[in-house]
Structure 1
Amino acid sequence: MGLSRKSRRSLKKLRGNAGDLWSEQREVLDHAAAVLREASKQTGEIAKRDVAPRVKSTYEKRVQPGVNAGVGAVRSAADHTKTTWNRAVIPAVTGAIGATLAVIDVARDNGRVAIHEASRASRELGTRAGQKLGIIEVKPTPGPGRYIAIAFGVIAVAGVAYAAYQTLRADDDLWVDDEPVEAPVA
């Protein structure tokens, strides 16, 4: 298929734009992966810095004496540890994971929109090139003449129908009965 220089330049430019888009999306996904790695590091640091000392102090203050005191103290320590875990660790981890997933979703949506726009533009460019080369037929668009002709046809049909109605209706008032002819008076 022989394309004009302009069409080839347009296709080459579109191909370059698609390549740029692909590399940008790779960068975004790499950045999202880096954010996820950083979030996991932060979670580990939070666990070491905040959670481990709390667990250790809870163990030293509640579990060790509880072992000596009995099962009631152990239950209390377990409840306190569970509460600390639920209030400190889980929200930090879920927040980091949620932020990372949001970044990945945004990158994925941007990629879909860009790919859709690129495919639409290439489809239009290909259609125009095909029409110029005579490969694709140009479909005529209906002009106002088509609608004017339809209106005249509807008016003509309505006129014929009205004339037929007037001709065939049974109207008794239109007929005059013949009067009998009387003999002349002499």
Structure 2
Amino acid sequence: MSLTRKRKKELKRLRSGAEDLWTQQQEVLANANALAAEARKQAAYYTREEIAPRVRDGYDTYVRPAAETAKSTASRYAGAARERVVGDVIPAVGTAVGTALSVVDHARAARAAAFSGDFSKAAKQLTKKPTPKKSGPGAGGVVAIVVGIVAAVGVLYAVWQTFRADDELWVADEEPTTPASSSAPASGAEL
């Protein structure tokens, strides 16, 4: 397949244009990488100078006092907490384990009765319901929940401060004015 001189010239011009475009794209990518590196550096400065102090202040203002209060309360009520664990928690856990084992025993007895053919006995075994003891969180549980909520709020505040839109942070470059645009009167100025 032979090409005419005109086609060869057009292909050569097209190849030259493509190479020029490729060179320009490489320059654009190099400039974009330099800009991204500068943006990373500025973001690190901003984090170090603005965000870290705010997080520290939030921690010192909200989390540390709550943790110290919880610590002092826990140390004050350590003996009471031990008695509470020994008197309430351990028996509640034992009751729950006993109830679970009782349910398993009833299920085994009902299955054995069903296999032996005594379905009325199996139905009685399945309808027996143990009544578990209900207990709520104690003082330690409430303090732990409050400390967790305060810590979560502090973290969420720090994240919000990090990602919120800050219009004063970025300053747009002024666009250069051309002589034609600066000398042309505005459309409403002639009235």
State TM-score, norm by structure 2: 0.40
Higher helix share: 1
Q: Max radius of gyration: which structure? A: 1
State TM-score, norm by structure 1: 0.41
